[in-house]
Structure 1
């Protein structure tokens, strides 16, 4: 059984959701529900993901849809603590730069682009363009 733990903390200027466990087809609906009940009103939603050990395409889709929803509401999505498998998923799909703008990765290399993963410049050199949602 896949487990996901979600802890929400609200502050005047932002909401912080700490996520731990696996973000997949079975657990993402609970995470989505947690974000739907939070009144965002143009604030930043901060997802602290250092406890996320696995993320499949459902987790990626959730993050992209959440970002779109927040932007439509004049809010922002801020991700932190990405490492291991979830960071690799975002790098491999090209979503890392979109979801974690300006971050070059942790000094210890946990969130660095995996070897062999195509970066934005690699894709452009191959004549492949990336469209952003």
Structure 2
């Protein structure tokens, strides 16, 4: 099951208004869950850097929180990552929480008919 939540921004991961010069994806273990906070453009150059966070999801992972609020641009590579992330969560029995979707992300999801995989029920509420 995928749940859409409001973004939870922490200065530890991203500074307000400071763009990422190169893509990175901090991962924080929180109890029996993982918080992923990618920063930068989610395109084909980012995919190799997302393999590590994906492999951290396994038996015993109860939830994964993905905060996309610091991802300025997402293309079909982002869709590929979301598909792999959701499959990994399903195999592990983990709940996937997606937060911080921007209008550009929603447009890419809609154009691809992705609402079937990630149930976009509307825009996340502001925090």
TM-score for both structures, normalised by structure 2: 0.71
Q: Distance in 1 between matches of 2:63 and 2:55?
A: 14
Q: Distance in 1 between matches of 2:45 and 2:34?
A: 24
RMSD: 2.2
> 1:105 maps to which residue?
123
CA deviations 1:8-47 (Å, max 9, x no partner) are 1111132101111111111111012222135552411111
The answer as to 2:28 corresponding to 1:9 is yes
1:44 aligned to which of 54, 63, 67: 63
Structure 1 residues 11-90: aligned runs within 5 Å: 11-39=30-58, 41-90=60-109
- Deviating above 6 A after TM superposition, structure 1's stretches of 4 or more consecutive aligned residues are none
Runs of 5+ in structure 2 lacking a partner? 1-20
TM-score for both structures, normalised by structure 1: 0.68
* Structure with bigger RCO (C-alpha 8 Å, 6+ apart): 2
- Structure whose residues are more often strand by fraction: 1
Tell me how far 1:49 sits from its aligned partner: 0.6
Aligned positions, number: 106
> 2:12 maps to which residue?
none
Q: Confirm or deny: 8 A CA contact 2:28 2:35 kept in the other structure.
A: yes
Larger-gyration structure (1/2): 1
